[in-house]
Amino acid sequence: MTSREVLNVYGENTNSNPNSIRLIPQLISIEQHYILLIEKYEYLNKFWISIKLGVVITFLHTIIATITGYVFAKIEFKFRESLFFIFIIVMMMPFQVNLLPNYILAKKIGILYTDYAIILPAIFAPFGFFFMRQTIKYISDEYIEVVLLESNKVIDILLVTIIPYSKPGIISLIVLTFADTWNMVEQPLVLLKDKVSALNKAKEEGERNKALEIAKNLLDVLDDKTISLKTKLTIEEIKKLRMK
């Protein structure tokens, strides 16, 4: 906002002290929210796509991580510790290192530029396996032995013992996974090529709207040529603004 706009919204309209500032603005508007959510409906479309991917990835990853964490924590098998050590090494790598292998694999199996190219790598992320293994590891084996007296099915062990006693860890994993999925930037740009043009178009539209707002605020103080140089709008566009 320009200094004049700030003064008009927050300043006291008194002759004795025209530059004083109020904590509560005189004008309160939700017009920007109306424009974003109603007029610019493309935003809502992209918003719900992000919600869909976040929920699907979080749900599937939590299930897979819980089962895998139980296997690594409570079931003895050959090379268990070595395999878990490999998971830790992969988890410590920056995701940019894994981005190229994910791209090559997605291209080979035919899911590149689809939502599956984002979902499949995310649901098998090693962090969830490590997190749930550390959570389940401290559950007493006596609880599992009690369940084994009645049933030897893994699903019964998970439902009766592992999941109830791992609720804090599962809730934490859900929050962390959804937040990580929501903040994805590089993965969609690389693996969802058809989304890049839409993203660039939205960025350009946002920059143009910002330039138009700045031009409107400068109409009363600058000439058309100067406004055009500062906002990168054409003279014809500025003249149209003056006619409105």
Pick the closest to residue 84 from 92, 93, 74, 72 (CA basis). 72
The tokens of 228 are what?
């055009």
Q: Which residues pair with 11 in a beta bridge?
A: 21
Q: What is the pLDDT of residues 152-210, one digit of tens each?
A: 888 999 999 999 999 999 999 999 999 999 998 888 888 886 555 555 666 677 787 88
Q: How far apart are the first and last CA of the chain?
A: 21
pTM above 0.85, yes or no: no
Cβ(184)–Cβ(158) under 8 Å?
no
Structural domain including 244 reads 194-244
Domain total for the chain? 3
Residues 120 and 59 in one domain: yes
Residues 167 and 224 in one domain: no
Cβ(173)–Cβ(62) under 8 Å?
yes
Q: What is the pLDDT of residues 95-154, one digit of tens each?
A: 888 888 998 999 999 998 888 999 999 999 999 999 999 999 999 999 999 998 888 888
Residues 107 and 211 in one domain: no
Residues 83 and 120 in one domain: yes
Q: Which of 159, 176, 191 is the last residue of a domain?
A: 191
Residues 186 and 236 in one domain: no
Alpha carbon of residue 241 to chain centroid? 37
Residues 166 and 215 in one domain: no
Residues 127 and 164 in one domain: yes
How far apart CA 69 and CA 137 sit, in angstroms, is 8
Residue type, 226: T
Residues 48 and 151 in one domain: yes
How far apart CA 64 and CA 61 sit, in angstroms, is 5
CATH number at residue 70: 1.10.3720.10
Residues 67 and 163 in one domain: yes
Residues 49 and 20 in one domain: no
